[in-house]
Structure 1
Amino acid sequence: MTPERTAAVRVLLADDHPVVREGLCAMLASDPGIEIAGQAGSGEEAVAQAERLAPDVVLLDLRMGGMDGVAATGHILRRSPRSRVVIVTTYEDDGDILRAVEAGAAGYLLKGTSRAQLVEAVHAAARGETVLTPSLAGKLVRARTEAAPLLSGRECEVLRLVGQGLSNAEIGRALFIGEATVKTHLLRAFRKLGVADRTAAVLTALERGLLT
């Protein structure tokens, strides 16, 4: 009995430089376990192709004209939720790495990655693993640490009471502070959490484990 052949990993390549796409295609096509399902020259095209082809893995350039890789990642994952997106770029900026991972990317690789590393990253992503160029791991940790909003104890108290349905005036009475001070704490919390209203602030703080 012949062993059952494992299905090839179907890959969509997206980069606005044809030469780069051709290079990535050549590197991956040499592996019998990988099939190039399609190619795209823009973020918008990558989203449309991903929805149509439902690839296992999307290799996506970070910076393209029009829709960038981070925005495309979010759209791709909504339209093809089983696909795994791996950013392949020349940029090592801490913020870019964090934005990509927070958008749902399964990995972040530099274009100087060797063929063997690229092939292994594609297979790892298809297995559901997170792939990251080793030199970028420290950058991601640092970016997450720097980006993590830290609420003061009073800001957390105010948000907890907001979550209980109290008005600013009621919160002020409960904490023995003025209503204007309550508003100040809320505005500071909004800024740190990147939100614009009370409900979003409470939900975001809960999601991030800040209101224990």
Structure 2
Amino acid sequence: MSSLQPKIPLDDAADIRYLRANLTKAVRDKLATHLPKDNATDHEDALRSRVEELVGEFVARTFGMAKSSVTINGMDASDDKTLDPDTGADHFEPYDPSLHTRVQKLQEQLEVETLKVTQLRRDAPRRAAEAQRAALSALEAETEVNGDDEVAMEEDVTLEALAREEDVKHDYEEAMQTLKELKKSIPMTTAKLERAKDVIAYLEKKKAQA
């Protein structure tokens, strides 16, 4: 049996550049905390410079190894120069730790909206039929009204029935639109989260083996 591990599939090279940018920022922040620059003097801090050099080499080595274990849109990423430092012009937002919570909330909202649509599909015909029956009953109750009064009553009841039908239609269309938007956003957010998890897990494994 082959011991080769499957490569991590990514849809966009920006995923790797995003992780590299955030790792670089994190190590620079740590360096600034533990070995801050002395702005009061122009002398170079040899220790700090050496540590900064070693950290830079670690980041470069880590992502250099990662490239050989990643595919982007089905293509091997080993020779992709856009993944090298200083070649990517993208600017990335800081990692959002609440992404998983957001996905859960979207899924919960999707379930709520699905229930609403199911309820509307079941109730809409009944509500429309009830509105129509109410209109017909009102018309029959006023059959003895003559002349203009009868015509006016018929028009009022008809308008009321139409208004009820419009309300039912509006509620249904609104719920369907919300459901459509949720179904579109959840897969995108979930896919991004899963890609990030895969890459982070792989990098942590490589770091442990180094």
TM-score > 0.5 by shorter chain: no
Query: More relative contact order in 1 or in 2 (CA 8 Å, sep 6+)?
Result: 2
What TM-score do you get using the length of structure 1 for normalisation?
0.31
Specify which structure has the higher proportion of helix: 2
What TM-score do you get using the length of structure 2 for normalisation?
0.31
Specify which structure has the higher proportion of strand: 1
Point out the structure with max Rg over C-alpha: 2
